[in-house]
């Protein structure tokens, strides 16, 4: 069943409407960003195995030169974000708070924005060649999940993808990177789709855009290549429309079975910015060494959309854009799912879609008194997975994690945060579920096979 919506726009059922907060950056063109004096490039910027460094300490590298190779299939290559010297190969801070292996790179003073080219991969290459080229280009999902893109493109023999969904919903508040990419890199987007259609063998591609980005949807529609089976679909503005499962139910009226992948519903979702990067990089054999990031929030002075070198530390980034005196919280990604930065030494990675800084006053708005649950049912009406967060929350309070997973579909929660957002008692529901999911995974790993 396809879920209709107001004004006839397609959407999914349930979900929430956080304030969009996109007006301040939506019309600002993408600007380049200078190199920090020291770039910190973690070798774990994606889900999967860490990349293996292929450079030595003290080695001179060119911008765009591979500095690490994939370790196995579920891993990607890494490229030098600037021309300079590898100072150290050591542990680097990461957003999770843990130290991870990485490369410290000192850009050469006055180093240019020129990029080293590799072996080009033309759009008519074989699907296997394209999959490898995407892995070698270090492409991961740029929407935030940072899952290696080539892994989902390698479709098993017994599966079929009939529809490729390009996710330009950008449902997280504050973020306007996908919006700008669709407006400014239309050709890259379509070139990327050309590669992706060839790899997946999909019959058609749909670019999904929320109705608050109609200008981007119209811009794409005007430039649709005649030889590509691509269409643009405007969706109702609602969070979390950009989640894969919500896109699939809104656009195709299908459901991804519990525990399954989009492929089980015959679809594949790729972020529109990821497609643009594929379209931008593969023809030149380049790799990802920078990405578009929305730097915004009440505590940021020069808000905007920037193309920022991977490895730029937050301290340099915030120093460059200027901040208010009382920065209370900095988080990477959008406010609904983004992680708060544990320190300003954390670098930008491929999965960073936004850097949002709150003042103390903004941060304090989330310091709300926690009341007992009043069974209002807001969370039940918000959950896009149709879980019962109230019941899960009660079970989590009693640490009944097994019951949560076995009887109440805990593992179907993808942590969108809608339940916490609406809870008038300010119960940290989604955080309880994260803890519970981690406990369930740990128990499953321990259990004898």
Q: How far apart are CB 254 and another protein at their closest, in Å?
A: 6
Taking CB under 8 A as the criterion, the residue among 43, 76, 265, 292 binding another protein is: 265
Two tokens, residue 297: 């929030």
Instruction: Compute the residue count for the chain.
Output: 449
The β-bridge partners of 206 are: 165, 231
Number of residues that bind another protein (CB under 8 A): 87
Q: Rounded to an integer, what distance in angstroms lies between the CA atom of residue 357 and that of residue 433?
A: 26
Q: What are the Cα distances from residue 306, in Å, to 34, 321, 388?
A: 10, 10, 39
- Residue 442 interacting with another protein (CB under 8 A): no
Window contacting another protein (CB under 8 A); options: 100-108, 200-208, 282-290, 361-369: 361-369
Give residues with Cβ within 8 angstroms of 211, minimum separation 6.
Answer: 7, 9, 234, 235, 236, 237
Taking CB under 8 A as the criterion, the residue among 221, 425, 439, 440 binding another protein is: 425
Q: Which residues of 344-365 are buried (b: 16+ CB within 10 A; e: fewer)?
A: eebbbbbbbbbbbbbbeebbee
Q: How far apart are CB 67 and another protein at their closest, in Å?
A: 27
Backbone angles phi, psi at 8, to 5 degrees: 70, 5
Q: Which residues of 167-181 are buried (b: 16+ CB within 10 A; e: fewer)?
A: bbbbbbbbbbbbbbb
Residues between 393 and 412 with contacts to another protein, criterion CB under 8 A? 409, 412
Taking CB under 8 A as the criterion, the residue among 2, 371, 399, 438 binding another protein is: 371
Q: How far apart are CB 281 and another protein at their closest, in Å?
A: 30
Window contacting another protein (CB under 8 A); options: 36-44, 186-194, 283-291, 427-435: 427-435
Q: How far apart are CB 321 and another protein at their closest, in Å?
A: 7
- Residue 366 interacting with another protein (CB under 8 A): yes
Taking CB under 8 A as the criterion, the residue among 386, 399, 441, 444 binding another protein is: 386
- Residue 49 interacting with another protein (CB under 8 A): no
Taking CB under 8 A as the criterion, the residue among 365, 398, 445, 446 binding another protein is: 365
Window 233-252: contact mask with another protein (x via CB under 8 A): ------------x---x---
Q: Rounded to an integer, what distance in angstroms lies between the CA atom of residue 361 and that of residue 131?
A: 47
Residues between 58 and 97 with contacts to another protein, criterion CB under 8 A? 97
Residues between 284 and 323 with contacts to another protein, criterion CB under 8 A? 299, 301-302, 315-316, 318-323
Two tokens, residue 288: 């990802």
Q: How far apart are CB 427 and another protein at their closest, in Å?
A: 10
Window 16-45: contact mask with another protein (x via CB under 8 A): x-xx--------------------------
Q: In 3-state terms, what secondary structure has residue 13?
A: coil
Taking CB under 8 A as the criterion, the residue among 247, 331, 355, 437 binding another protein is: 331
Window contacting another protein (CB under 8 A); options: 109-117, 124-132, 194-202, 257-265: 257-265
- Residue 257 interacting with another protein (CB under 8 A): yes
Q: How far apart are CB 231 and another protein at their closest, in Å?
A: 22
Window contacting another protein (CB under 8 A); options: 24-32, 56-64, 203-211, 254-262: 254-262
Say if CB 210 and CB 233 are below 8 A apart.
no
Q: Rounded to an integer, what distance in angstroms lies between the CA atom of residue 116 and that of residue 443?
A: 47
Q: Rounded to an integer, what distance in angstroms lies between the CA atom of residue 187 and that of residue 230?
A: 13
- Residue 376 interacting with another protein (CB under 8 A): yes
Taking CB under 8 A as the criterion, the residue among 63, 180, 286, 329 binding another protein is: 329
Two tokens, residue 240: 């979390």
Q: How far apart are CB 350 and another protein at their closest, in Å?
A: 19
DSSP E strands in 289-442: the ranges are: 290-296, 304-309, 327-332, 339-340, 354-359
The residue (of 219 and 320) whose beta carbon lies closer to another protein is: 320
Residues between 125 and 184 with contacts to another protein, criterion CB under 8 A? 173
The β-bridge partners of 207 are: 166, 232
Q: Where does 213-288 have alpha helices with state H?
A: 214-222, 244-252, 272-281
The residue (of 228 and 439) whose beta carbon lies closer to another protein is: 439
Window contacting another protein (CB under 8 A); options: 142-150, 203-211, 264-272, 279-287: 264-272
Q: What are the Cα distances from residue 91, in Å, to 76, 377, 414?
A: 19, 45, 30
Q: How far apart are CB 172 and another protein at their closest, in Å?
A: 10
Q: What are the Cα distances from residue 187, in Å, to 5, 109, 233, 325, 350?
A: 31, 33, 18, 41, 21
CB count within 10 Å of CB 98 equals 10
């Amino acid at each position: 069943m396809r879920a209709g919506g107001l004004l006839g726009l397609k959407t999914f059922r349930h979900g929430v409407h956080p304030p969009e907060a996109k007006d301040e950056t939506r019309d600002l063109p993408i600007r380049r960003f200078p190199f920090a004096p020291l770039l910190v490039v973690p070798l774990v910027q994606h889900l999967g195995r860490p990349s293996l460094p292929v450079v030595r300490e003290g080695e001179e590298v060119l911008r765009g030169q591979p500095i690490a190779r994939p370790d196995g299939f579920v891993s990607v290559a890494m490229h030098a974000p600037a021309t300079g010297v590898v100072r150290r190969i050591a542990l680097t801070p990461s957003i999770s708070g843990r130290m991870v292996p990485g490369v410290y790179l000192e850009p050469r003073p006055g180093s240019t924005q020129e990029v080293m080219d590799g072996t080009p991969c033309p759009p008519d290459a074989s699907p296997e060649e394209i999959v490898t080229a995407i892995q070698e280009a270090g492409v991961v999902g740029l929407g935030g999940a940072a899952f290696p893109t080539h892994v989902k493109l390698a479709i098993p023999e017994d599966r079929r993808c009939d529809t490729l969904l390009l996710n330009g919903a950008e449902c997280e508040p504050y973020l306007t990177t996908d919006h700008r990419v669709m407006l400014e890199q239309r050709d890259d987007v379509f070139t990327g789709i050309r590669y992706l259609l060839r790899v997946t063998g999909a019959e058609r591609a749909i670019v999904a855009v929320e109705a608050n980005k109609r200008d981007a949807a119209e811009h794409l529609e005007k430039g649709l290549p005649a030889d590509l089976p691509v269409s643009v679909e405007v969706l109702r503005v609602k969070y979390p429309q950009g989640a894969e499962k919500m896109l699939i139910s809104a656009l195709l009226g299908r459901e991804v079975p519990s525990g399954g992948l989009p492929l089980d519903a015959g679809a594949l979702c790729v972020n529109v910015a990821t497609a643009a990067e594929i379209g931008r990089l593969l023809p030149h054999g380049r790799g990802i060494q920078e990405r578009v990031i929305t730097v915004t929030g009440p505590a940021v002075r020069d808000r905007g959309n920037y193309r920022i070198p991977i490895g730029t530390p937050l301290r340099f980034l915030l120093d460059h854009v200027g901040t208010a005196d009382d920065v209370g919280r900095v988080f990477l990604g959008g406010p609904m799912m983004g992680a708060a930065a544990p320190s300003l030494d954390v670098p930008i990675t491929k999965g960073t879609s936004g850097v949002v800084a709150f003042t103390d006053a903004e941060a304090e708005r989330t310091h709300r008194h926690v009341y007992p649950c009043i069974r209002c049912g807001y969370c039940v009406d918000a959950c896009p997975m149709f879980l019962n967060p109230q019941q899960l929350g009660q079970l989590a309070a009693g640490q009944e994690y097994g019951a949560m997973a076995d009887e109440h579909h805990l593992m179907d929660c993808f942590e969108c945060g809608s339940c916490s957002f609406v809870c008038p008692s300010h119960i940290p529901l989604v955080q309880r579920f994260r803890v519970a999911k981690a406990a369930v995974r740990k128990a499953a790993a321990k259990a004898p096979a």
